[in-house]
Amino acid sequence: MTSQPTGGTVLELRGVGVSFGGLVALEDVSLAAAAGTVVGVIGPNGAGKTTLFNVVCGFVEPNAGAVLFEGSPLRPRPHRLASQGIARTLQGVGLFRGLTVLENVMAGATHSARAGLVSAMLGLPRSDRDERRLRDEAMTLLDELGVAEHARAWPDTLPYAVGKRVALARALVARPRLLLLDEPAGGLGGDDVDELAALIVDLPARASAGCSVMLVEHHMDLVMKVCDQIVVLDFGRVVASGTPGEIRDNPAVAEAYLGAEVQS
Ligand SMILES: Nc1ncnc2c1ncn2[C@@H]1O[C@H](COP(=O)(O)OP(=O)(O)OP(=O)(O)O)[C@@H](O)[C@H]1O
């Protein structure tokens, strides 16, 4: 890996290491995610995938290496992530139960609204124009993701697959330049996974606000379908990276998964 940021690289990890006490969760991990692409991070259980995401989000501080976002050192702060241009969806759904679907999506953009939902919750004055703009943006996203009819519903009443889409809308409303998807297909059935794949493939090229995508996923079928580049972790190290075709044929990948159940 070069020491100069390459043009068009949105996220770069250089020699990142993370230890939890004596346990090495990531060791000398280097990877680069090109702008406008979908990058998959795969590997058996305990390989370090979630830890890698947590490093990018600032939940875990690496004890070695560097993280660069758009060529500059990234000092991620979980509470400021959206304003730094990064959004993340969680495993499961993770919507706020006390807010409607529309309010949940609006809450994803509070950093960009001069006075947003947080102000509203705190009873602070806010600009009607800001709120209208945010509401429109949130509705547009729900519409794009095919779940606008649920805008006034409460999260608890939603079918699981709809909840996942709402969570995606909430992440997208902040117009991230990098979107981290943590097991987006988890808990979804076959048809829903296919529809999700189509949505993910389109994310980098969205007219309103395209973004690069990095995803952690056990669902191999989805990974192979949507990713431009795949990074394979095993015991905290990168054991392979390449296109889906290269990864499929890589013996080191088969070895990493030997004995591990691969969901397809
Ligand atoms: N906060 C923590 N404290 C101690 N050990 C941790 C912590 N977080 C992760 N680990 C350990 O680090 C290693 C990597 O875990 P991580 O959750 O990143 O793997 P993963 O690839 O996401 O696994 P899975 O596919 O099961 O979610 C594991 O051995 C895990 O037990």
Render pLDDT for 39-53 as a digit per residue (tens, 0 to 9). Answer: 999 999 999 999 999
List 41's β-bridge partners, or say none.
216, 231
CATH 3.40.50.300 segments of the chain? 1-85+176-264, 92-175
Q: Which CATH superfamily is domain 1-85+176-264 in?
A: P-loop containing nucleotide triphosphate hydrolases (3.40.50.300)
pLDDT over 90 percentage in the chain: 53
Distance CA 216, CA 139 (A): 27
- Find the helix packing angle between 160-172 and 190-202, rounded to 10°: 10
For residue 93, the CA-to-ligand 1 centroid distance in Å is 20
Highest mean pLDDT among 122-126, 152-156, 207-211: 152-156
Ligand 1 atom with minimal separation from the 218 CA: 25
Residue nearest to atom 1 of ligand 1 (CA): 20
The two beta strands, 38-42 and 229-234, are parallel
List 182's β-bridge partners, or say none.
216
For residue 24, the CA-to-ligand 1 centroid distance in Å is 10
ipTM: 0.96
pLDDT (average), residues 233-247? 94
Closest CA to 101 of 139, 75, 62: 139
For residue 78, the CA-to-ligand 1 centroid distance in Å is 19
Strand, coil or helix: what is 97?
coil
What is the Cβ-side half-sphere exposure of residue 19, based on CA atoms within 13 angstroms? 7
Residue nearest to atom 16 of ligand 1 (CA): 48
Distance CA 178, CA 172 (A): 10
| Mean per-residue pLDDT over the chain, rounded | 85
For residue 205, the CA-to-ligand 1 centroid distance in Å is 32
Query: What letter represents residue 264's amino acid?
Result: S
Residue nearest to atom 7 of ligand 1 (CA): 20
Strands annotated E in 113-204: 178-182
Q: Which CATH superfamily is domain 92-175 in?
A: P-loop containing nucleotide triphosphate hydrolases (3.40.50.300)
Residue nearest to atom 28 of ligand 1 (CA): 46
Residues in contact with ligand 1 (CB, 6 Å cut-off): 20, 23, 25, 43, 45-51
Of 19, 50, 53, the residue with max ligand 1 atoms within 8 A of its CB, to mutate for a pocket test, comes to 50
Of 24, 41, 51, 52, the residue with max ligand 1 atoms within 8 A of its CB, to mutate for a pocket test, comes to 51
pTM for the whole thing?
A: 0.86
- For residue 264 the two structure tokens come to 């397809």
Closest CA to 178 of 37, 13, 1, 15: 37
For residue 49, the CA-to-ligand 1 centroid distance in Å is 8
Q: What is the tens place of the pLDDT at every residue in 82-116?
A: 888 999 887 777 888 889 999 999 988 765 544 45
52 contacts 60 by C-beta, under 8 angstroms: no
List 89's β-bridge partners, or say none.
181
Q: What's the confidence (pLDDT) of residue 120?
A: 57
